[in-house]
Structure 1
Amino acid sequence: MILPLLLLLQSDKLPPANPLPYTDPDASAVMAPVNRILAAVGTRDGAAITAETRPEGGATVVVERADGGRTIRHLSWAEFAGGIKPGAEKLAERMPDPAIEVDGDIAMVWGPYVFTVDGKADHCGVNHFDLIREQGRWKVLNVTWSQRSTGCEAR
């Protein structure tokens, strides 16, 4: 028992994450509110976004500019949902291969994404959702993502 702990302390790496694809039965339940939020961004439905979230959480974005500068911005869920405005462009966000970790009533979803406008890559990065399960239902507490406009490929 003590040997694995000592080996872990000697390593500069975390223990391995679950293999992909993750086959835990909770994985699809965890992804359900994440997928509904991504779909709601595409349909520009702020109310559908807040329906999947805990009000005390929020959204944080780290925008990486082409010149190397970075901007960090945090929004409450109400601010984030309120920023979703009607428009003629077709929006879509794809997160094709998320890593999912579940421990009891907490979960994490992490993975690369590409955000498209009218089918063209607009920006990309990595999404990190943290979720909690309450009364049998998963809710998103926070989402944090990186956002860049270079090196984005349609996925």
Structure 2
Amino acid sequence: MKNLLLIIFISVLAFKAFAQQTDRDAIKQTVNTMFDAMRKGDSTLLRSTFAKGIVFQGVASKKDGSTVLETENPDDFIKQIGTPHKGVYDERITFNDIKIDGPLASVWAPYKFYLDDKFSHCGVDVFQLMKTTDGWKIIYIVDTRRKDNCPE
């Protein structure tokens, strides 16, 4: 009986670990698809990665040293990506940490942003995603932006 319980316990743990890895891969794919859409200037592909009601915010430092929270309109961002523009918006990230609790996930990702191959700024993107019947969708993005002290 003890052996049976041990086998069941190990099986449950293995399944949970497999499911979490599958979710991690799907979460990374959603975020990478968002950045692929930015590079391509494809607003339809970009929108497909977002949940309805997505929120965009940025934490910015002002010249006086204070910090403010800026809220951006996601529709303006989507329109900007889809409107022909000079240069390729190339945001390069590193997946540092992904946390998952059922249908909710959080991603911490340092980044460097380039216009074509010219460095523009860096910071950290924090994504909140939810698992839907259509897969993982981004529900919230907050970031920091700076020109120096960038992640390696």
TM-score by length of 2: 0.75
Unaligned runs of 5+ in 2: 1-19
1:100-136: per-residue Cα shift (whole Å, max 9, x none)? Answer: 1111111111121000112122110000000001115
Tell me which residue corresponds to 2:120. 122
Tell me which residue corresponds to 1:141. 139
Which residue identity lines up with residue 54 of structure 1 in the other structure? A
- The structure whose Rg is larger is 2
Equivalent pairs, count: 132
- Structure 1 range deviating more: 56-65 or 129-138: 56-65
Tell me which residue corresponds to 1:131. 129
Residue 30 of structure 1, CA deviation: 0.9
Which residue identity lines up with residue 92 of structure 2 in the other structure? R
Tell me which residue corresponds to 2:37. 40
Q: Distance in 2 between matches of 1:51 and 1:93?
A: 18
- Structure 1 range deviating more: 82-91 or 113-122: 82-91
Residue 71 of structure 1, CA deviation: 4.7
Which aligned pairs between 1:100-115 and structure 2 lie closer than 5 A? Answer: 100-115=98-113
Of 52, 73, 85, which aligns to 1:87?
Answer: 85
Q: Distance in 1 between matches of 2:40 and 2:68?
A: 26
1:66-118: per-residue Cα shift (whole Å, max 9, x none)? Answer: 76454532123212212324223132111123311111111111121000112
CA contact (8 A) 2:106 2:126 kept: yes
Tell me which residue corresponds to 1:15. none
Q: Distance in 1 between matches of 2:116 and 2:65?
A: 27
TM-score by length of 1: 0.74
Tell me which residue corresponds to 2:46. 49
- Note if 1:62 corresponds to 2:59: yes
Identity percentage of aligned residues: 27
Distance 1:66 1:117, change over 3 A: farther
Residue 46 of structure 1, CA deviation: 2.2
Pairwise CA RMSD? 2.2
Structure with greater proportional helix content: 2
Unaligned runs of 5+ in 1: 1-22
CA contact (8 A) 1:61 1:146 kept: yes
Which residue identity lines up with residue 144 of structure 1 in the other structure? V
